[in-house]
Structure 1
């Protein structure tokens, strides 16, 4: 199961799906309030626990006591929360949120609020704005190591999703106020953490904090990619997801 980050939707995983689908039963879902998913099932709550409750209900609905979980950014933290509850067979995390210190948390909030403001202003004209490779590079440099590789139609869609997510402000406030609190329910859940060398949002040294907080986990540097790495280097990311989800039992 693939879980996206804040302000995104399942389509961020599209570049890696062709590599995963032949050997994995793959589910890429929209979290409540993102993409095509309405903001339902959470009541007035927001943040990681509430989002994890909804995904856990999805697992229950489909009769899946556990799953191989992968998540990016906020989605990585949701995957960890589900692993903490004993719902993960493996967890593969791409720049998971929740391992910043207080000044870094302030930076994340300010950076994403600024990006959201820009997206909301430009979204009505998203296709024209993102048609230029130079403009895509400038607009998405905060999130991608190689933003010029992002196709124009994907860029326009990402801008509209980012601008229109009704849960964005509340989830952002919640995730930057708190930090990941382990331990995992099962100590033998394999945890793989990939961190882009060009991550300009959740800075790469936070990966070292993550492995200290998750004994037995392994940190895999991802050269040349940014915070949302699936368009930067689909093969590199797909290989990590396949390796991270390879286990017995």
Structure 2
């Protein structure tokens, strides 16, 4: 039986963070992290994943339905990893399974490399090595570009990138749902801060630690991704012990193109 998906809030260091949840609160926890999108990317698979895990798809500060605001200092991978640990502590979660999409996958790798709290990891169309930032993100390193970016500018850019992230065409309601967070200036600033903080050193410097830990890791990849190329996923499996790869039909958000296949791949890994 698939589980209903609920949205809840938790106070983390004085900021109300929001998360989608499915599953029994007594089950083993699975934290799911987003990058330049928000927890919406995990929504299609949460009902299935809730059969075996207490799913917690967190919205980072200034993203999704969470309060707060990021700046380039608080939006680095190590800083966001600490935010995730603080959220886990607030939720009473010690050791957990972990899934990350996009920059959320970079955060996941950092947690896997630098803590002993991750049991198993899933990386879905994740940044890794020097696969990032893509040019459309990298340009926000310029403070002038960030300052000049309006709500309308970001909505236009996010519309284009969201449409390029799925093989199937999202309908008007789905697209509006994906874009809904970026209608306030503070959320625009949070997004541009994450873009400004995007830096491949965060995923390059931890490679030796990942190799040494050999954490059981499954890469689940939409094989037609234009942003995070399949070649990087194949390289990860070659270079990092304990990793395997499941390719599915899809682009950057394969949960929208192949939800059943993604869920099955994640469940199969976590059950292992």
TM-score of the alignment, normalized to the shorter chain, above 0.5: yes
Q: 2:93 aligns with which of 52, 59, 64?
A: 64
Match of 2:260 among 218, 235, 242: 235
Q: Name which of 161, 175, 182 aligns with 1:155.
A: 175
TM-superposed deviation, 1:145: 2.3
1:142 lines up with 2:164 in the alignment: yes
Alignment partners' CA distance in 2, 1:43 and 1:173: 6
- What RMSD, in angstroms, separates the aligned Cα atoms of the two structures? 3.1
How many Å apart are 1:187 and its aligned residue?
Answer: 2.1
Structure 1: tracts of 5 or more residues without a match: 127-135
**Of the two structures, which has the highest relative contact order with CA contacts closer than 8 Å and spacing of 6 or more?**
1
Instruction: Return the alpha-carbon distance in structure 1 between the equivalents of residues 133 and 69 of structure 2.
Output: 27
Aligned residues: 228
Q: Secondary structure at the match of 1:245?
A: helix
Name 1:166's counterpart in structure 2.
189
Going from structure 1 to structure 2, the CA distance change for 1:221 and 1:112 (only over 3 Å counts) comes to: farther
The 3-state SS of whatever aligns with 1:95 is strand
Q: Which runs of 5+ in 2 are unaligned?
A: 1-30
Tell me whether 1:77 sits opposite 2:100 in the alignment: no
User: Residues 135-180 of structure 1, C-alpha deviation per residue, up to 9 Å, x if partnerless?
Assistant: x8x763421122x1x2422211212335644322222122245341
Are positions 1:53 and 2:82 aligned together?
A: yes
Q: Normalising by structure 1, what TM-score?
A: 0.78
More strand, by proportion: 2
Call closer, same or farther: CA 1:106–1:75 in 2, change over 3 Å. closer
The answer as to 2:120 corresponding to 1:90 is yes
Partner residue, 1:132: none
**How many Å separate the matches in 2 of 1:210 and 1:48?**
19
1:190-205 to structure 2, matched below 5 A, reads: 190-205=216-231
Residues 173 and 98 (structure 1), Cα distance of their counterparts in 2 relative to 1, 3 Å cut: farther
Distance 1:154 1:186, change over 3 A: farther
Q: In the alignment, what sits opposite 2:32?
A: 2
Counterpart CA distance in 1 for 2:90 and 2:189 is 25
**Aligned partners of 2:138 and 2:196 also within 8 Å:** no
- The reply on whether 1:211 has 2:243 as its aligned counterpart is no
